[in-house]
Chain A
Amino acid sequence: DAGVIQSPRHEVTEMGQEVTLRCKPISGHNSLFWYRQTMMRGLELLIYFNNNVPIDDSGMPEDRFSAKMPNASFSTLKIQPSEPRDSAVYFCASDMRGGTEAFFGQGTRLTVV
């Protein structure tokens, strides 16, 4: 398996633009997590899905952020409109149901100017 695949690896966009981050979890994994990492706040859980259903989105900063998982092999994290303070590395991770290790993607480094 190729592991968790995220795209793009890097994204530079202007403030106000819509940004869509993509994630393909490992086949057979039924939990998917979106994290945001910054120097100031560390690794923050934004949202996680179990069997494609959002379980906890309390970490989503505000209404500008939304996440979907239309099927077991794909998820998106969308920011609309983007702001400079959204600049961070966004990680997607997946695992088997509960109690096992989480596999992280390479991350998407987002810069909003």
Chain B
Amino acid sequence: GQQVMQIPQYQHVQEGEDFTTYCNSSTTLSNIQWYKQRPGGHPVFLIQLVKSGEVKKQKRLTFQFGEAKKNSSLHITATQTTDVGTYFCAGRTYSGAGSYQLTFGKGTKLSVIP
């Protein structure tokens, strides 16, 4: 079945440093989504990338989708304590009969040291 690998599993950074998490799929994706889960919370949608090579920005967050639509990255510039949480990528693949499977990576847990 489809697999989505995400690295690193954990990242500790000093406040103000940059952070990047990487995502790789075993199959070509229809699109990729990114979610953030705060400690004790549930995953919350951040963004979706659809086109090959697409780059999107949300303030200090930059999301990229690879040319082959099999990998993606999330980069946070100048981290803040509010960025703490686990960041998940989730790949969409078509399952047939109009159904799209959503498979999550294991996530990268970000800790920010003030």
Name A's B-contacting residues (CB within 8 A): 31, 33, 35, 41-43, 45, 48, 50, 55-56, 58, 91, 93, 95, 97-107
The answer to whether B106 touches A99, judged by C-beta atoms less than 8 angstroms apart, is no
Distance between Cα atoms of A96 and B30 in the complex (Å)? 15
Contacts of A58 in B (CB 8 A): 1
Question: In the complex where A43-B43, A43-B104, A104-B42 touch, is A99 in contact with B50 (Cβ < 8 A)?
Answer: yes
Residue pair A55, B97 in contact (C-beta under 8 Å): yes
A97 neighbours in B (Cβ, 8 Å): 98, 100
In the A-B complex, list the 3 residue pairs whose CB atoms are closest, starting with the nearest: A42-B106, A98-B100, A101-B45
Residues of A within 8 A of B70 (CB): none
Interface size classification for chain B: 20 to 34
Contact A91 B100 (CB under 8 A): no
Asked if B102 contacts A45 (CB within 8 A), the reply is yes
Contacts of B44 in A (CB 8 A): 104
Known: A42-B105, A55-B99, A95-B102. 11 other contacts (CB 8 A): A31-B100, A45-B102, A45-B103, A45-B104, A48-B99, A58-B1, A91-B42, A97-B100, A98-B92, A102-B102, A107-B42
Cα distance A2–B105 in the bound complex, in angstroms = 27
Measured CB to CB, the residues of B under 8 A from A are 1, 30-31, 33, 42-45, 48, 50, 88, 90, 92, 94-95, 97-107
* Residue contact B90 to A102, C-beta cutoff 8 Å: yes
Can you identify 26 A-B contacts, CB atoms within 8 angstroms?
A: A31-B99, A43-B43, A43-B104, A43-B107, A45-B103, A45-B104, A48-B101, A50-B98, A55-B99, A56-B95, A56-B101, A91-B43, A93-B43, A97-B98, A97-B100, A98-B99, A99-B48, A99-B50, A99-B92, A99-B100, A101-B33, A101-B48, A102-B102, A103-B45, A105-B42, A107-B42
A71 to B18, CA, bound (A): 46
Could you say which residues of chain A place their CB within 8 Å of the CB of B102? Answer: 33, 45, 48, 93, 95, 102
B99 — which chain A residues lie within 8 A by C-beta? 31, 48, 50, 55-56, 98
